[in-house]
């Protein structure tokens, strides 16, 4: 048996979807443990592109159980649309399971997400406006509505009555917004719940039993380490726990049940939304990375901010996630550059630091110190072994391994499943 957590080691969009899909071939179960439809995970199979927001990227294998665990926040209409979209493309969703404990994103969450962002003005976070933050706020405030509440009309009515009174007071008195109608929400969400009912189960037990039975389980993180509510660049973060520990919190497995953690690491860095980003390139090189890497948000379509890889951040990600290996993605995007830079330390005021600062205001003042490596010109999109990569590309990966202290188990050279160089020993039994 084996359990593996897939985690983004940067600010999201590292290629978690591609790697999850690839490794899901050897998995019995793929579990999303946090976040919601703020995520956008792209999977390319036989030239067809699938954009998954809530459903685990294992869904494309008909025999794999795909679990949306209790740590996820679920927008029922988005989920149903995603299911319908997959079915329309002949992808079976019978293997989908949804936790009774997952919290539901309600209409007032989406509305408040947008209104709160507007109020923040220059201090905005740049959220995806999908209601993620407000839904997690209610969960922690203990006034959230869970999937199990939604499925019980009496409980749903009682909880919605109380919560909506409160939300409408906030909407009217603080935001000068008209109140939301109880009947509209109750009726529409009850109908949505009925359509989801047959997928809903006790996923804590399901995952635990699969684990006890020695199944291979993949835990698919959304977002990335630096977007973690505790370990990320607060307040420019999401409201959940993308880091590997989040897999325990969101599913109910114990820390000692995790065998391996793979940090998905883009060969450069991107960030969507606001917040400090020391290696950001606001020049033609940044534009080139955005164009070559098609760096536009999967969920919102926003252009992603681009920069060089940041090894200071990578070391931090290695530590907070306990990374066993790296999957270095989008190596092909760097092809054609004469030189490639890696940030190895920061200049903070008059000092040089090589540890990632805990304080976001300190990070905002950090300037990158770069090491310059030689680029390569050869097309690498067909490489299937490390030996087929140009020497400069191999040296680049070796330097990332050295600076992060973590070996690379995968090198991705294109969006398709086959465009992946794998070090089997570091991934077995997911990749026999």
Q: Which spans of this chain sit near Mg ion (rule: CB under 5 A)?
A: 13, 40, 298
Dihedral angle at the C-alpha atoms of 65, 66, 69, 74, nearest 10 degrees? -150
Find the farthest-apart pair of alpha carbons in the chain and give their distance in angstroms, rounded: 66
Tokens of 117: 């962002």
| Angle, vertex CA 395, rays to CA 389 and CA 398, nearest 5 | 105
Smallest gap from residue 42 Cβ to ligand GDP (A)? 3
| Selected range binding ligand GDP among 5-13, 26-34, 91-99, 229-237, rule: CB under 6 A | 5-13
For residue 332, the partner it binds in ligand GDP, Mg ion, ligand IMO, none, with Cβ less than 5 to 8 A by kind, is: ligand GDP
Q: Rounded to whole angstroms, how far apart are CA atoms 390 and 388?
A: 7
Q: Which two tokens stand for residue 345?
A: 């330390």
212 to 1, 65, 207: CA distances (angstroms): 9, 16, 9
Q: Which among ligand GDP, Mg ion, ligand IMO, none contacts residue 15 (Cβ within 5 to 8 A by kind)? A: ligand GDP
Catalytic member of 41, 53, 109, 241: 41
Site string for ligand IMO, 175-204 (x = CB under 6 A): ------------------------------
Per CB under 6 A, 40 contacts ligand GDP: yes
Location of structure tokens 């000692």:
256
Interface characters, 263-302, with ligand GDP (x: CB under 6 A)? -----------------------------------x----
Q: Please identify which residue in 414, 421, 427, 430 interacts with ligand GDP, judged by CB under 6 A.
A: 414
Residue 413 interacts with which of ligand IMO, Mg ion, ligand GDP, none, CB < 5 to 8 Å by class = ligand GDP
Assess 246 for contact with ligand GDP (CB under 6 A): no
User: Active-site residue 41, yes or no?
Assistant: yes
Active site residue 425: no
Which alpha helices (DSSP H) does 268-310 contain, by range? Answer: 284-292
3 near ligand IMO, judged by CB under 6 A = no
Q: Is the peptide bond before 429 cis (omega within 30 degrees of 0)?
A: yes
Binds 64: which of Mg ion, ligand GDP, ligand IMO, none (CB < 5-8 Å by kind): none
What size, in residues, is the chain? 432
Using CB under 6 A, which of 4, 13, 210, 266 touches ligand IMO? 13
* Bridge partners for 373 per DSSP: 340
Among ligand IMO, ligand GDP, Mg ion, none, what binds residue 238 when CB lies within 5 to 8 Å by partner kind? ligand IMO
Q: For 151-170, give one letter per residue: b (16+ CB within 10 A) or e.
A: beeeebeebbeebbeebbee
Binding segment for ligand IMO (CB under 6 A), chosen from 70-78, 138-146, 223-231, 411-419, is 223-231
Which residues does 136 contact at the CB level (< 8 Å), separation at least 6? 73, 103, 239, 240
**Beta strands 325-329 and 260-266: pairing type?**
parallel
Residue whose CB is less far from ligand GDP, 139 or 330: 330
Catalytic residues: 13, 41
């Amino acid at each position: 048996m084996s359990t593996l957590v897939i985690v983004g080691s940067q600010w999201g969009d590292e290629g978690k979807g591609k790697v999850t899909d690839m490794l899901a071939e050897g998995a019995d179960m793929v579990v999303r443990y946090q976040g919601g439809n703020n995520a956008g995970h792209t999977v390319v199979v036989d030239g067809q592109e699938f954009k998954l927001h809530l459903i685990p990227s294992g869904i494309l294998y008909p025999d794999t159980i795909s679990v949306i665990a209790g740590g996820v926040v679920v927008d029922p209409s988005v989920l149903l649309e995603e299911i319908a979209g997959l079915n329309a493309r002949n992808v079976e969703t019978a293997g989908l399971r949804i936790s009774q404990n997952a919290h539901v994103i309600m209409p007032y969450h989406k509305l408040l997400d947008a209104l709160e962002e507007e109020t923040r003005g220059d201090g905005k976070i740049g959220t995806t406006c999908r209601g993620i933050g407000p839904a997690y706020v209610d969960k922690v405030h203990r006034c959230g509505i869970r999937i199990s509440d939604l499925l019980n009309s009496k409980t749903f009515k009682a909880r919605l009555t109380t919560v909506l009174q409160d939300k409408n007071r906030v909407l009217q008195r603080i935001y000068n917004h008209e109140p939301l109608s109880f009947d509209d929400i109750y009726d529409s969400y009850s109908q949505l719940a009925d359509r989801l009912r047959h997928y809903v189960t006790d996923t804590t037990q399901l995952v635990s039993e699969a684990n006890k039975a020695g199944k291979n389980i993949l835990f698919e993180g959304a977002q990335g380490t630096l977007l973690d509510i505790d370990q990320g660049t607060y307040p420019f973060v999401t409201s959940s726990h993308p880091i590997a520990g989040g897999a325990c919190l969101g599913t109910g497995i114990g820390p000692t049940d995790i065998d391996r953690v793979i940090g998905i690491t883009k060969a450069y860095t991107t960030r969507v939304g606001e917040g400090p980003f020391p290696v950001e390139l606001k020049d033609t090189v940044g534009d080139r990375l955005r164009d070559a890497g098609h760096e536009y948000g999967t969920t919102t379509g926003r252009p992603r901010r681009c920069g060089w890889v940041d090894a200071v951040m990578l070391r931090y990600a290695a530590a907070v996630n306990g990374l066993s290996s790296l999957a270095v993605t989008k190596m092909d995007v760097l092809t054609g550059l004469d030189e490639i830079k890696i940030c190895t330390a920061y200049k903070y005021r008059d000092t040089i630091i090589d540890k990632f600062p805990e304080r976001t205001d300190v990070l905002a003042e950090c300037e990158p110190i770069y090491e310059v490596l030689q680029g390569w010109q050869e097309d690498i999109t067909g490489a299937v072994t490390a030996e087929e990569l140009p020497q400069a590309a191999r040296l680049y990966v070796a330097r990332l391994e050295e600076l992060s202290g973590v070996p690379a188990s995968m090198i991705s050279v294109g969006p398709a499943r086959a465009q992946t160089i794998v070090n089997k020993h570091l991934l077995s039994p997911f990749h026999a």
